[in-house]
């Protein structure tokens, strides 16, 4: 299951999460973002119960994109205890994402 992460729910969904949270920073107009979406969805299904997966639309949540220094999309950031611990920029397959993020 994927969650829509916004500035309003970031504290509850990410900072207070008992599970690590993988956030996909994306935009509707971004081709590579559309390409990686099924990979992220498959990762969310495979690791259900072990990680939480959320999406941040950078056009709607510019403050979060700036705060976490997202300058290229897609950018995926893994958070543990509310802190960013790993970052992947650009398209990757599900398996390459899991390897890069060490999930």
The token pair at 84 is: 């960013």
Catalytic residue among 2, 6, 27, 30: 30
d(CA 9, CA 16): 10
In this structure, what token pair is assigned to residue 45? 């299904």
The answer to whether 36 is a known catalytic residue is no
Determine whether 21 is an active site residue: no
What does the DSSP assignment read for 61-86?
-HHHHHHTT--SSSEEEEEETTEEEE
> Given 22, 23, 33, 88, which residue is catalytic?
33
Task: List, by residue number, the catalytic residues.
Answer: 30, 33
């Amino acid at each position: 299951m994927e969650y829509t992460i916004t500035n309003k729910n970031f504290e509850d969904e990410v900072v207070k999460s008992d599970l690590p949270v993988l956030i996909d920073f994306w935009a509707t107009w971004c081709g590579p973002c559309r390409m990686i979406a099924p990979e992220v969805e498959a990762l969310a299904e495979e690791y259900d119960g072990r990680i939480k997966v959320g999406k941040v639309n950078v056009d709607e949540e510019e403050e979060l994109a700036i705060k976490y220094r997202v300058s290229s999309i897609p950018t995926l950031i893994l958070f543990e205890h509310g802190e960013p611990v790993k970052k992947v920029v650009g398209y990757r397959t599900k398996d390459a994402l899991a390897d890069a993020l060490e999930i």
